[in-house]
Structure formats: C-alpha cells, structure tokens
Structure 1
C-alpha cells in the first residue's frame, strides 16, 4: 500500500506522539517549546498536502481513503485552522502545567477532521468522527477549575455520545443492506434497489451523527457553550475544523444515495431550522463568544444548502468549498481578536474598543462583515454561490429563507460593531502578547488576500470533484 499517500496524516500523528513524549520528560517552564513542534508538524502536513494537489484523483488503501481535490482542499483548511489555534495558544496556556500535551490533542483533533473529509468507507468515517470527538472533549474542559468549561465539556461529551451512537447505528444498518462499508460498493448496491425503510433509517442515523460535528440541528446545542466556556484558542479550532471535515464527509456520502430518496428534503429541513435557530438565538446574546457560537450554528445551515443540491448541480461542490473557506477565514479572524483581548466576553467589555485597540477592532469588523456576506469580502462570494446553485436547482424558496436569515444576522453582528465604535470606553483593556498579535494579523491578512484573489480561488474550486 502506498504509505506516501498518507504523508500529511502520518506527519500529524508523528508530531502528536513526539509532543506527548516531549511533555512527559520536560519541566513546566519549557512546555511552551511544544508549540514549535506542533507548528512544524502542521507546516510539514501543509507542504505534503500541496504536493499532492496535482495528483490525479484516486482511491487508496484498498479504496477506503479518497485522495481527491475536495479532500485536499478540506485538509488545507483544517490545517490552517489548526495553525491559527496553535499560534493563539502559548500566551493563553502559559501558566498551565499541562501545556505540552495540549498541542498533541490539537493535532489529534485535526487528524480526526481530515479523516472525515477523506473517508471513502463508512468505518473510516466513524473512526474520523470518534478521533475528532475524543481529542476535543478534554480540550473543551482544559480549564478544569472553571465551571463554564466543565459544563461545556460535559454537554459536548453527552451530545457527542448520543449522536455518535446514531452514526454507528446508521452505518451498521447500511452495512446490513450492502454487505460492505466501501463507498464505491455501497453506491453500486444502492443503485440496484434496496429496502427504502432500512435505507431511510441508515441515512437518518448518518446524517444525524454528522450533524454533531457540523453543529447543525439537532446536534447543535454544544456549540454556544463550547464557544463561551472552552479556552478561546480551542473555541477557534472547534468552530471551524470539525465543521469542514463533516460538511465534506456529508456531501461525499449523500452522492451515494439514490436520487429517488427523500434525503434532499430532509437535509433542506435541517438547513432551514439550523440557520433560523442559530440567527434567532444570536439576536439575544450579550456574550460575544456565545454570539459567535450561535453564529457558527447558523453558518452550518448555509453550508448545508450546497449539500441539498450536491447531486443536482455540478457547481454545488465548488459552492460548498468556497463557502467553507470564506467562513473559516472570517471566523478564525474573529476568534483571534477575542483571544487577543484575553477572552473578554461580555458585550460591555467591547465598549469603545475602537479607541483603545483600533487594530483589533478593525480585524473584528472585517471578520464580522465577511460572516454577514458584505462585498467585496470573500464571505459575500461564498454565500452568493450558495444562493446561485440553490435557485438554479429549483430551491429558490431555500435561497429566500437564507437571504432573510442573512438580514437577521446583520443586526447582531452590527450591534457588536456599534458598541466598539460609538460607546464610551468601559475601562482599561489588557491584551495577550506577541503570539496572539501574529495570529490576528495572519488571519486577517489571509482573509483580505482571499477577498482580493477570489476569482482565482473560485475558478480553482470549480475544477474539484469527488473521485469515483
């Protein structure tokens, strides 16, 4: 088997193991050195992923691992989110005695998200979801002396246990129908006709299981608690990386299903509920981190618009990847500001921030405008593509609901902008050190570069397709 096909994943795994060993034999004062090991592992994984880009799409390792454009694009986005989270962590975690192994958990969480995006076998999909979940649970509750972190970790774990069970049940039922877990074989058997009831149960289980990692209804309830209670760098990571892996995994899975099934209607229902619930809940938030958590829920609803029409429109996959890239860049930029401000979380803390921290304010404003979808920022083009493919495929009503939800979201994003710009300063503002500055400037720089080069990025995304 060509081990070289998995060089990015092997690099992450090796880096995590090395960091665990390093942390076990290193004094607390030197634990911060683990950040260099984590960044080196992520950088090498990015390099190997870029080298894989020109390769022809293929299934490797007996067909269980997809090495195609969407998988590599998702891999790069996941690694980017990991790099930003790692850059944010040294100043935030410096006083923690378990600082070293924290980075190993981050790398394992990244590896799980990548496995989800690359899975071409339902058992590998389960392994990716479980690895991502198991590594994320302790990250959320890493500040074990703080009650909100423990509450968020417990809620995350309980919802994950339920939805992961539903995912496993769905995969087992699908295996009973097909006699195999391989996606290619699954598509062949489903095309010949199987029990509609059993297939509906299997599809429901898998969709509900992936809704947990997507933070989509009904597996969404953990997201606002994690965004508020987890360490801010972890919140930045978990609002982006699992969502990317799960969205690509769900899109890849539904392409196997017969078009006669009702799954597009089911996913469309989840889409509407997710975006509407997320935006309405965000309206009443006075905590900026929790607001960004509910915003993340609503963004999952927009992403699912592309999944609804993935079989009916050849541009839907490109729309999904473009939107995920735009969301990732904007959301990471927003959380770098929150982290830079030492996790300042209530809306009152942001009063007059433009006067004391003009650069951080500018970054947060740009990030939120991109999340809304204001041109010429890249978030506008991501949403525009989603609306376009939905309307072109006969889901104009879905695009209208999404547009109304976008208008609703404009209110709560601009409310944060307004208090930063026009309210009197609340008091002295303390910020983290040079690492958070680097992460903040890097993230907003990537967001602006993506906005300027959006045409080239979209043309590249249009050429990506699933293998098989």
Structure 2
C-alpha cells in the first residue's frame, strides 16, 4: 500500500502519540512545550500536503482515500486553522496541571476531520466522524471543574451519540442496498437501479449524521453551549474545523446520488432552516460567546447552499471551499479576540472597548463584518460566490433567502460593534499575559485583510478542482 500518500496524516498521528507520552513525564510549567510539538507536527503535515498539490487527482488505498484538489485544499485549510487553535491555547491553559494532553486531543481531532474530507468510502467516513467526535467531547468539557463546560461537553456527547448512530444506520442501509462501501462502486450500482425508498432512508440518515458535525439543523443545539462553555481555544476549534471536513464529506457523498432522488430538496430545506434559526436566535443574545455560537450555526446554513448545487453548477465546489476559508479566518479572528480578552462573555463587558483596547476591538469588528459579508473583506467574496453558484444552479430563491438572512445578521453583529465603539464603561480591560495569544490574534487579523485582497488568487487556485471518482 502507498503509505507515502498518507504521510501528512501519519505525522499528525506520531505527533499526538509523542505528546501523550511526553506530557506524562514533564512538569506543569513545561506543558506548553507540547503546543510547540503540536505546531511542529502540523507544520510537517502542511509541508507534506503541499508536496501532493501538483499530483494528478486519484483514489488510493484500494479506492477508499481521495487525493484530489478538494481533499488537499480542505486538508490545508483544516491544518492551518488547527495551527491557530493550538497557538491560542497555551496562555489560556497555563494554570491547568494536565494541559499537555490537550494538544494530543487537538491533533487526533484534526486527523479525524481530515479523514472525513478525504474519505471515498462510507466506512472510512464513519471512522473519521467517530475519531473527530471522540476527541472533541473531552475538548468541550476540558474545564471539568466548571459547570458550563461540563454541560457543553455532555450536550455535545448526547447529540453526537444520536446522530453518529443515525450515520452508521444510513451507511449500513446503503451497504445493504449496493453491496459495497466504496464511493466509485456505489455510484455505479446506484446508476444501474435500486430501491428508491431504501436509498432515501440511507441518504436522510447520512445527511443528518453529517449535520451534527456541521452544527446544522436539527443537530445544531450543541453549538451555542460549546461556544459559551468550552475553553475558548477549543471553542474556536469546534466551531470551525469540523465544519470543513463535514461540508466536504457531505458534498462528496451527494455527488454519488442519482438525480431523481430528492436530496437537493432535503439539503436546501436544511440550509434555509439552519441559517434562519441561527440568525433569529443570535438576535436575542446578550452573551458574546453564545452569539458567536449561534452565528456559527447560521454560517453552516450558508455552506449548505453550495452543497445543494453540487453537480448543477461547475463552480459549486470552489465556492464551498472559498466560503469555508473565509468563514474560518473570520470566526477564528473573532474567537482569538475574545480569548485575548480572557473570555469576556457579557455584552456589557465590551462597552467602550475601542477606547481601551483599540487593536483588539478593530480586529473583532473586522471579523464580525467579514462574517456578515461586507466588502472588501474576505467574507464578502465567500458569500458572493455562494450566491453566484446558487443562482447558476437554478436555486435563485435560496440565494434570496440567504440575502434576507444576511441583512438580519447585520443587526446582531453591529450591536456588538456599536457597544465597543459607543458604549461607556469604567471597567479595566484585562488580557492574557504572554505573546502566544497576542501574536496569533495579530496574524489572524492580518489574514482578514490579506484574504480580501488575495481573494481573486484564492478563487483562481480553487476554480478547477473536482472530485476524483
């Protein structure tokens, strides 16, 4: 078997195992070196992934692992976003006696998400979902002495247990229908004929299973609790990175399905409900972290727009990846700012922040405006492509609903920005000590601007990518 095809994943696995072993023997004040080791493992994985960029798209390991432009692009995005989440962690977890193992959990979760994005086999997909979930549950509840963190972890676990079961049921039904788990063979046998009712049941279960990782309706309820109660670097990770793998996995799966199965209607319905529910719920929030959680739910609805038109628009996959990249940059920047502010959560704590910490306030406001889609920020180009492919794919009504939702979202994002700009408060602003969080915040803040300026280059790089089937 071509082990060289999975060297990036092997580097993450070896890094995680090394961290588990070393963290067992070193002292508390040395645990932050595990973050350095995790970043090193991610950097090696990024380098090995770049080496795969110019290779011809293909399936490897007997057809269960995809090495195409979509998988490699998603892998790079996952790894770079993971590096940001890792770099935000040392200052936040400095006083935690056992935080060395936290970085191993991050690497295992990254590995699971990459498996989701690269899976060309339904059982491989299940393994990826389960690995990312099992590593994600303890990340959400890592502050085990704090009740909101335990509640977030428990809700994440219970919803995950249900939806992961549905995913496995769907995979089993699909296997019983076609007699194989490989995507290529599945597509061929579905084209020859099948039991439509069984296929609809399998499709619905698999879509709902992946909706959990996307934080899309009806498996979205864990997201605001995780955003509010988890360690903030873990919240940044869980609100961004699993979405990337799940969105690519869902797009890859629905591309196998025959045209006469109503999967587009199912995904379009989930898209509308998810974005609308997320935005309406966010309007009521006076907790900034919870607001970002509901915002993350709404952003999943936008991502589903591109999946609806996979196969109907040639640019659906590039649009999906550009949007995911723009969302990742903006959401990570927002969480980096909140992390730097020691996790300030009540909106009243942000009153007058622009006068006390202008750089942090500027980055947070820019991130929120990018999530809305205000030009020339990177989020504008991500949403613009979504609208374009939705209209080109025959779903102009979905683009209209998304535009209305974008206007709604402007109200709650501007409410936070207005509090920072015009609110009055005598409270002192406390920030995390050290350079880890400050440096990461500045880097992600620069990416917000550079991403908008380089959006055309990003669109050119992703324009020709397709699935290898």
* TM-score bin, normalised by smaller chain: over 0.9
Is the 8 Å Cα contact of residues 370 and 378 (structure 1) preserved in structure 2? yes
Residue 27 of structure 1 deviates from its aligned partner by: 1.5
2: distance between equivalents of 1:10 and 1:426?
A: 51
User: 1:21, 1:426 → 2: CA distance?
Assistant: 47
- Give the Cα–Cα distance (whole angstroms) in 2 for the partners of residues 383 and 32 of structure 1: 38
2 CA distance for matches of 1:429 and 1:348? 12
| 2-structure distance, mates of 1:238, 1:422 | 32
Q: Secondary structure in 1 aligned to 2:375?
A: coil
Q: Distance in 1 between matches of 2:365 and 2:104?
A: 32
Q: Number of residue pairs matched?
A: 468
Structure 2 Cα separation of the partners of residues 450 and 260 of structure 1: 39
Residue 248 of structure 1 corresponds to 248
The match for 2:47 is 47
Cα distance in 2, alignment partners of residues 349 and 193 from structure 1: 60
CA deviation digits over 1:73-104, x for unaligned, max 9? 11111111111111111110011111110000
Task: State how far apart, in whole Å, the 1-side matches of 2:100 and 2:417 are.
Answer: 36
In the TM superposition, what whole-angstrom CA distance separates every residue of 1:248-269 from its partner, at most 9, and x where no partner exists?
A: 0000000000011101001100
Q: Does 1:272 align with 2:272?
A: yes
CA distance in 1, matches of 2:47, 2:192: 42
The alignment status of 1:464 with 2:457, answered yes or no, reads: no
If the length of structure 1 is used for normalisation, what is the TM-score? 0.99
1:3-38 deviations in Å (ceiling 9; x for gaps): 111011000000000000000111212111111100
Shift of 1:391: 1.1
Structure 2: any 5+ residue segments left out of the alignment?
A: none
Match in the other structure for 1:374:
374
Taking the aligned partners of 2:393 and 2:181, their CA distance within structure 1 comes to 31
Shift of 1:130: 0.2
The corresponding residue for 2:69 is: 69
Residue 443 of structure 1 corresponds to which residue in structure 2? 444
Hey, what's the Cα distance between the residues in 2 that align with 1:140 and 1:340?
A: 19
Q: Supply the distance in 1 between the matched residues of 2:393 and 2:240 (Cα, whole angstroms).
A: 28
1:33 matched to 2:46? The reply is no
* 3-state DSSP of counterpart to 2:59: strand
Partner SS, residue 313 of structure 2: coil
Aligned to 2:149: 149
CA distance in 1: counterparts of 2:243 and 2:155, whole angstroms: 18
Question: SS state of the match for residue 52, structure 1?
Answer: coil
After TM superposition, the structure 1 = structure 2 runs for residues 25-424 of structure 1, keeping only pairs within 5 Å, are 25-424=25-424
1:156-194 deviation line (CA, Å, top 9, x unaligned):
000000000000000000000111100000000000110
TM-score w.r.t. length of structure 2: 0.99
Does the CA-based 8 Å contact 1:86-1:233 persist in structure 2? yes
SS at match of 1:404: helix
Provide the rounded CA distance (Å) in 2 between the counterparts of 1:28 and 1:383: 44
Question: Aligned partners of 2:238 and 2:154: how far apart in 1?
Answer: 15
Deviation digits for residues 219-277 of structure 1 (CA, Å, limit 9, x no counterpart): 10000000000000000001111000000000000000001110100110000000000
Instruction: Report the Cα distance in structure 1 between the residues aligned to 2:408 and 2:286, rounded to whole angstroms.
Output: 16
Query: How far does the alpha carbon of each residue in 1:297-351 deviate from its partner, in whole angstroms, 9 at most, with x for none?
Result: 0000000000001011111111101100000000000000010000000101100
Alignment partners' CA distance in 2, 1:339 and 1:225:
16
| In structure 1, C-alpha distance between the alignment counterparts of 2:264 and 2:230, rounded to whole Å | 34
Question: CA offset at residue 425 of structure 1?
Answer: 2.5
Off by >4 Å, runs of 4+ in structure 1: none
Aligned-partner Cα distance in 1 for 2:202–2:27: 49
Look up the SS of the partner of 1:66 in the other structure: strand
Aligned-pair distance for 1:447? 2.0
Taking the aligned partners of 2:73 and 2:412, their CA distance within structure 1 comes to 31
Contact 1:355/1:425 (8 A) holds in 2: no
- Could you say what secondary structure the match of 2:51 adopts? helix
1:426 is displaced (CA, Å) by 4.1
Mapped partners of 2:41, 2:335: distance in 1: 23
SS in 2 for 1:161: helix
Unaligned runs of 5+ in 1: none
Cα distance, 1:466 vs structure 2: 0.6
Q: Alpha-carbon deviations, 1:21-58, whole Å to 9, x = none?
A: 00011121211111110010011111111111111101
Indicate the SS of the match to 2:300.
Answer: helix
